[in-house]
Amino acid sequence: MIGTFLVLATILVLGIPAAVIFIPLAALTGKVRPLYDVTCFITRTAFRAAGIRFVTEGAEHVPAGQACIIMANHVSNLDPPALIPRIPGYTSGFSKRSVFKLPVFGYCLKLGEFIPVDRKGNKESAQQSIAAAKRLLDKGLHITTFVEGTRSRDGRLLPFKKGPFYLAEATGAPCIPVSIYGTETLMAKGSFGIKGGTAHIVFHPPIRPGDYATREELMLAVRASIASGLPEWMRG
């Protein structure tokens, strides 16, 4: 539990003064990037304080000046705060609608133009989420999504959700597959305990939707790319 305490203590010590300064600044000016950057800095600092080390490979595969869809596997609650600060540029993403109701954090997600989704949403809700993501891609923001739709209980790749691939087809935005492993040992599903150690984030070369005849072929290509960066037992 020492790791959990160190993460929370760092976030509180650095986050409270940052929130007092940067949240009103973002609300008044409409410029969210300073709040985004300081949040990423605090997150990285909290992980270092807890003895967590991330080995990142292939970030150069994210093309400069082009909005992409970042597609990652998902094995731990640590994955989003680990991945987002390491994505070159500025990303939005999808988050459960219930998270937007959290005080302060939910408001920050709204300021950052993150997109609320319903885990068991209807077709209309899904279409609204895809349309919102398309508008953000058109503005030049990356969209980050965990393509399994939920965390894997045992670390093995789950079936992928179709929504991100509808978005890729509709926009033609490059898909950047990302493999994450090691976080499942630092914070397991169903646990609030965080412990030190090393995890890995691997960015793979872009996969362009226009190179595939069908959505299913695109999905298989992304899955194969993500699997290639994972330990063999995680490949599903």
Give the neighbor-by-neighbor strand order of the sheet with 175-181. Answer: 52-57, 197-203, 175-181, 69-72, 142-146, 91-96, 115-117
**Residues 19-57: pLDDT tens digits?**
999 999 999 999 999 999 999 999 999 999 999 999 999
**Phi, psi at 115, each rounded to 5°:** -110, 120
pTM for this model (two decimals)? 0.94
Of 3.40.50.720, 3.30.70.1050, 3.40.1130.10, 3.40.50.300, the CATH number of 53-234 is 3.40.1130.10
* Sequence ranges of the domains in the chain: 53-234
At 124 the pLDDT is 79
| Average pLDDT over the chain, rounded to an integer | 94
- Give residue 221's pLDDT: 98
- Cβ-contact 202, 223 below 8 angstroms: no
- The string of pLDDT tens digits covering residues 134-185 is 999 999 999 999 999 999 999 999 999 999 999 999 999 999 999 999 999 9
